[in-house]
Amino acid sequence: MFHFLLVDDNVMNVKILNLIIVDYMKENNIELGEYNIIKAQNGQEAVILAGDQTFDMIFLDIMMPVMNGFNALNIIRKMNLSKQPIIVMATALKDDITREKEKEKGANAYVVRPFGKKTITLILDHYLRKLIDDTFHHDDFFDFDDFGDDTHTIDNQDVVMDAFNNSHQKLSTEELLEEYDYLKDEIHMDLEEIDCLIMNNFSLEDDTLDLDCMVHNLQDFFGLFSSFLHQFSEFEELSKAIASVSELITNVDINSLDEENKEMLGIYMKAIIMDLLDWKEHVFIKHDAGDVFYANASLLNSYIEVKKLLQ
């Protein structure tokens, strides 16, 4: 029996990781009754659960409220447990300092978000066999450098994110809207059109989207939002990414995807839509975004993962 704990305050990240693990178990003929997956939203919950239950593997995000992943890792490693779990740290930071810090504190692996199915598969292949054979040692550190660069990060992730990070400086809602005051009527009409499209064609209550029924609606939404963003020179990278999502959806044959990939694609599509709607609300409706670029990293990460999934 394998026991997993997934710890992340981002519900969508947990759902995606859960889906990857379940898919891996199916592919390796491990039945549902032979493993279980528990979820937590912060490091404090992870520490409490680790003290109450025995886990074989914990996937632990670094940046979380209440208690971050570093502190949770440190506490769990000092706990008097019957068996110390394999701990995989997840972060958006790809640098040697972070990796060495995690290794020093007792992490067994280090993945950079956004990670794909291949990344998690390599980790599960490496450690589950050792758990079955009872050959795992607590100082066993899984180093992606031994497998080549293409196994660790999504294709072009560094290029896309570096371009984004170098393309802007902090800009408040007030500064942005003051610059584009002459467009306020057009902005208002565009936002109304986006809202009408969502209200009349989308059901966002479920965890994933029914892609069989919504492909054309997705094309319309991303095309409309890309055109809206194109009015602002500050959002050139984001506009291109959203336009590319629309193109990817247009060209994909939904019927050619297996159910797991179709479900994962639906999760990412909903994540992108929800991020865009939240961003629109805070920048153009509530006017309370301290930095109008705050959602770009999340959106670009989701776009990269969608591109990798469809390729």
All structural domains of the chain, each given as residue ranges with its CATH number in brackets, are 2-151 (3.40.50.2300), 157-310 (no CATH)
- Please report which confidence band the pLDDT of residue 248 belongs to, taking 50, 70 and 90 as the band edges: confident
Residue 162 clears pLDDT 80, i.e. is over it: no
Q: Please answer whether residues 90 and 113 qualify as being in contact, where contact means their C-beta atoms are separated by less than 8 angstroms.
A: yes
Mean pLDDT along residues 133-149? 71
Threshold 0.75, pTM exceeds: no
Give pLDDT tens digits for 12-27. 788 888 988 998 999 9
Query: What is the reported pLDDT for 136?
Result: 83
CB neighbours of 154 closer than 8 A, spacing ≥ 6?
A: 114, 115, 116, 304, 305, 307, 308
Give pLDDT tens digits for 42-92. 999 999 999 999 999 999 988 788 888 888 999 999 999 989 999 999 876
Residue 96 clears pLDDT 90, i.e. is over it: no
| Alpha-carbon distances of 264 from 22, 128, 210, 308, rounded to whole Å | 12, 23, 11, 12
Q: Please give the mean pLDDT across all residues of the chain.
A: 83
Query: 114 by DSSP, 3-state: which?
Result: coil
Mean pLDDT along residues 100-113? 82
Residue 154 clears pLDDT 60, i.e. is over it: no
Residue 142 in tokens:
């899984």
Residue 93 clears pLDDT 80, i.e. is over it: no
- Please report which confidence band the pLDDT of residue 146 belongs to, taking 50, 70 and 90 as the band edges: low
| Alpha-carbon distances of 152 from 42, 65, 113, 118, rounded to whole Å | 24, 26, 9, 8
Q: Please answer whether residues 89 and 102 qualify as being in contact, where contact means their C-beta atoms are separated by less than 8 angstroms.
A: yes
The three state secondary structure string of 48-83 is HHHHHCCCCEEEEECCCCCCCHHHHHHHHHHCCCCC
Give pLDDT tens digits for 294-307. 777 778 777 777 77
CB neighbours of 214 closer than 8 A, spacing ≥ 6?
A: 201, 202
